Amino acid sequence: MNNLIQSILKTAVYFLDQTNQVASDVRDRVSDTVDRASDRMSDLRSQAEDLYEGEDHTFRNVMTFVAGVGVGVGAAILFAPASGQEIRNSIGEKVQDIGDRVRGRFSSEARNATGTEGI
């Protein structure tokens, strides 16, 4: 009976040792995979930083905006419900009205600044 218990215990210790070796191998493989993924993410982050630290595109962005405004104005003129002459007259009247308002405001401010108002 003693030999039987010894054999069972030795077998259990052997299985535990084998399980520990397998778990250690799995831990090593997972650790290697995590390290490779971390290195890859670091490389991707570096590449993204290089893209954003590149040349300045402000002029290109401004020109794209100006071109978009031009296309919008052109489309508005083409699809406007009034004729070209009517649109030009309307624009001219609005510009004249705005100019009159600006001149009126500046002239009243100039009178207030010189103290000549109400004399």
Residue 26, pLDDT score: 83
Looking at residue 117, its pLDDT comes to 53
- Rounded to whole angstroms, how far apart are CA atoms 95 and 102? 11
- pLDDT of 54 reads 62
pLDDT of residue 113: 61
Alpha helix (H) residue ranges in the chain: 2-52, 58-78, 84-114
Cα 52 from Cα 49, distance rounded (Å):
5
How far apart, in whole angstroms, are the C-alpha atoms of residue 11 and residue 17?
10
pLDDT at 118: 53
**What pLDDT was estimated at residue 95?**
87
Element (H, E) at 53: none
At 67 the pLDDT is 92
Each residue's pLDDT expressed in tens, for the chain with a length of 119 residues: 788 888 888 888 888 888 878 888 888 888 888 888 888 888 888 887 777 666 677 888 889 999 999 898 888 877 777 777 887 888 889 889 988 998 888 887 666 666 555 55
